[in-house]
Amino acid sequence: MPLQPLEPGQLNVLRARGAVMALGLLVPAAVVEIALADRLPVHGVLAGVALLLGIWLAIVAPPRRWRHWGYAFTGSELHVAHGWWTQVHTIVPVVRVQHIDVAQGPLERGFGVARLMLHTAGTDQTVVALPGITRATAEEIRDAIRARIGSAA
C-alpha cells in the first residue's frame, strides 16, 4: 500500500525539538567547562562534544526521521509506518477505535501540523499516534472514523 509522507511542517517541529534538546545539552556542558576551567587540562572538549551532539539532534537527525514516516487511510483502516532501524507498520481497523484525539502543541500550531491519536480496544499499543499531518486532514480522518463507528453501532 502506498503511504503518504508527513507534512513538511513536521520536519520543522522535529528540528525545533532537536534544537531545544541541543540547548539542554550545550548549556550545562558550557557551565561545567567554565566552573572547572582551572582544573581541566584541555578546555572545550565537553562543550565540543555537546555541540556536535546538538548539531546531530537539530540538523542531521530530523530529516532522516521525517523521511521514514508515512500513513494511509483506506476508510476501514489507518496505516501508520515509521522507523529506519526498527521499522514499525501499525494497522488500526476503524471498528477497533474507541476514542479519537486531534492535538496540537505550540510548535505544531506554529508549523501548521497536528497529531491524530487513536485509542483502541486491547492491551498492547492501545494508543496509535500519527503526527505531522495538517489539522484539516486529522479532522477529516477523525470525522470519517466517527461516521463509520456511528454507522456500525
Q: What is the CATH number of the domain that holds 116?
A: 2.30.29.30
**Domain termination site, one of 67, 85, 105:** 67
For the segment 64-75, the average pLDDT, to the nearest whole number, is 96
Same domain, 28 and 94: no
Look up the domain containing 28 and give its range: 8-67
Q: How far apart are the first and last CA of the chain?
A: 29
Distance CA 36, CA 87 (A): 43
Same domain, 85 and 55: no
* Residue 124 within any structural domain of the chain: yes
What confidence category does residue 134 fall into, taking pLDDT thresholds of 50, 70 and 90? very high
pLDDT per residue over 76-106, tens digit each? 999 999 998 999 999 999 999 999 999 999 9
Same domain, 75 and 148: yes
Q: Quick one: which of 67, 64, 59, 65 has its CA closest to 15?
A: 59
* Residue 2 within any structural domain of the chain: no
**Under 8 Å CB-to-CB from 151, ≥6 apart: which residues?**
none
**Domain termination site, one of 40, 67, 94:** 67
Same domain, 99 and 58: no
How far apart, in Å, are the Cα atoms of 55 and each of 2, 13, 50, 108, 142? 32, 15, 9, 21, 37
Same domain, 38 and 50: yes
**How does DSSP classify residue 59?**
I
What confidence category does residue 152 fall into, taking pLDDT thresholds of 50, 70 and 90? low
Q: Has residue 75 got a pLDDT over 70?
A: yes
Same domain, 105 and 135: yes
Average pLDDT of the chain to the nearest whole number: 93
* Residue 88 within any structural domain of the chain: yes
Same domain, 135 and 74: yes
Q: Has residue 153 got a pLDDT over 70?
A: no
Q: What are residue 36's phi and psi, to 5 degrees?
A: -105, 20
pLDDT per residue over 40-67, tens digit each? 788 888 889 999 999 999 999 999 999 9
Distance CA 51, CA 49 (A): 5
* Residue 43 within any structural domain of the chain: yes
What is the total count of domains within the chain? Answer: 2
Residue with the three cell numbers 497529531: 115
Residue with the three cell numbers 513538511: 8
